[in-house]
Amino acid sequence: MPALKPAYLIHGDDHGRIGERRARLRRLADQSGGPLESASSPEEAAALLATLTLATGWRVIVVDGCERWREEDVRAHLEALASAIPPETTIAFFALEDGRLKAPALLHELVKRAGGDVAGETAVKEWDLPKWTIARGAEKGLTLDMAAARALVQATGPRQARLDRELEKLATELGPGARVSDDTVTERIVRAAERKVWTLADALVARDRRGAVRLYLELRDQGERVESLGYWMTRRLREALAVAQALEAGTPVAKVRAGLRMPPRPAAKFIEDVGRTDSAALRRAIALLAQLELDTRGRSALDPDTLAVRTIERIAA
């Protein structure tokens, strides 16, 4: 087991990288066989340091949420941090910083005074992401040219954690030493994501509540934004409304199918699903998605995922 210092402060706005470091520390703690404890406030952290333990192995205390701490609370409870850390003990503070949420400056000072390390994990600037992607891919045994890196950034967005997950999937699928082109990115990532998004929207049209919720959660888990999913669901429902209005006006099914930009079999299935609803229900669904957009932009205090799942369930009911 690598030697651990008495204290660490891991902070910054690259939340994915901070999460990796936190997970690595927990694995090291498991390997040591010592106790692993958690805290979320200066008072709790100080109380754990003051608690004697008879357990063997290296003791690790993980402290989360430091980005929300106040300077005066750190001073009141952790001023004596340097002399409070028992032997064979490591305390690690983690701060997921964002905007005005920052780990207190005093915490930086106290960790250094205790002989620990302070490490900042800062998100890469958007214009530097292709270079970062190439370097990160090389760590995983992949060779990406600049065109492939740019295509991957464009497909996944600027979140490093999402980029890292997609690189990991490519490395698993293609194997070590693989070369990744922009065509590879388009086929394996862009089109796969697009297909899943359309499947979600089609589940809404078909009023498959369980399937729509499951697909929504899968897409969110792989890093898709609520706003983006709302856009694609609205777009598909508008297509469904146009089909419903054409069918209600007596337009032949063959002509409606010919006007859809999709292969014959999916087009037939789409028209069949639309035929089970009507234009009034589709208008209500589009209105609900418009309300979701407003709510997720600050009109509601609820979590965006809660709002989205409720909207999907109402549409597919």
Q: What is the pLDDT of residues 199-239, one digit of tens each?
A: 888 888 888 999 999 888 888 877 778 887 888 889 888 98
Cβ contact 220:212 at 8 Å:
no
Res 298: pLDDT? 77
Tell the CATH superfamily of the 7-120 domain. Answer: P-loop containing nucleotide triphosphate hydrolases (3.40.50.300)
CATH 1.10.8.60 residue ranges in the chain? 126-180
Banded pLDDT at 190 (limits 50, 70, 90): low
Banded pLDDT at 198 (limits 50, 70, 90): confident
Q: What is the pLDDT of residues 50-94, one digit of tens each?
A: 988 777 788 999 999 999 999 999 999 999 999 999 999 999 999
Q: Can you tell me the distance from the alpha carbon of 158 to that of 86, in angstroms, rounded to the nearest whole number? A: 42
Given a cut of 60, is residue 135 above it in pLDDT? yes
CATH 3.40.50.300 residue ranges in the chain? 7-120
Cβ contact 189:148 at 8 Å:
no
Banded pLDDT at 6 (limits 50, 70, 90): very high
CATH 1.20.272.10 residue ranges in the chain? 192-316
Q: Which two tokens stand for residue 232?
A: 């694609």
Res 189: pLDDT? 67
Place of tokens 């980005």: 67
Q: Can you tell me the distance from the alpha carbon of 243 to that of 248, in angstroms, rounded to the nearest whole number? A: 9
Residue 309 CB-half CA count within 13 A: 14
Cβ contact 179:143 at 8 Å:
yes
Does pTM top 0.85 for this prediction? no
Res 38: pLDDT? 93
Q: Taking the CB of residue 2, how many other CB atoms lie within 10 A of it?
A: 6
DSSP secondary-structure letter at 67? G
Label the pairing between strands 179-180 and 36-39. unpaired
Given a cut of 60, is residue 154 above it in pLDDT? yes
| Residue 62: alpha-carbon gap to chain centroid | 22
Given a cut of 60, is residue 1 above it in pLDDT? no
Q: How far apart are the first and last CA of the chain?
A: 54
Q: What fold is seen in the domain 126-180?
A: Helicase, Ruva Protein; domain 3 (1.10.8)
Banded pLDDT at 42 (limits 50, 70, 90): very high
3-state secondary structure at position 94: strand
Q: Can you tell me the distance from the alpha carbon of 27 to that of 30, in angstroms, rounded to the nearest whole number? A: 5
Banded pLDDT at 2 (limits 50, 70, 90): low
Q: Can you tell me the distance from the alpha carbon of 262 to that of 105, in angstroms, rounded to the nearest whole number? A: 57
* Domain 192-316 architecture: Up-down Bundle (1.20)
Mean pLDDT of the chain: 87
Q: Which of 73-82, 126-135, 147-156 has the highest mean pLDDT?
A: 73-82
Res 40: pLDDT? 93
As a dihedral over the C-alpha atoms of residue 185, residue 187, residue 188, residue 191, rounded to 10 degrees, the angle is 110
Cβ contact 146:130 at 8 Å:
yes
Given a cut of 70, is residue 140 above it in pLDDT? yes
Q: Which two tokens stand for residue 299?
A: 């009109």
Q: Which two tokens stand for residue 231?
A: 């856009």
50-54, 167-171, 253-257: segment of lowest average pLDDT: 50-54
Q: Which two tokens stand for residue 155?
A: 């497909």
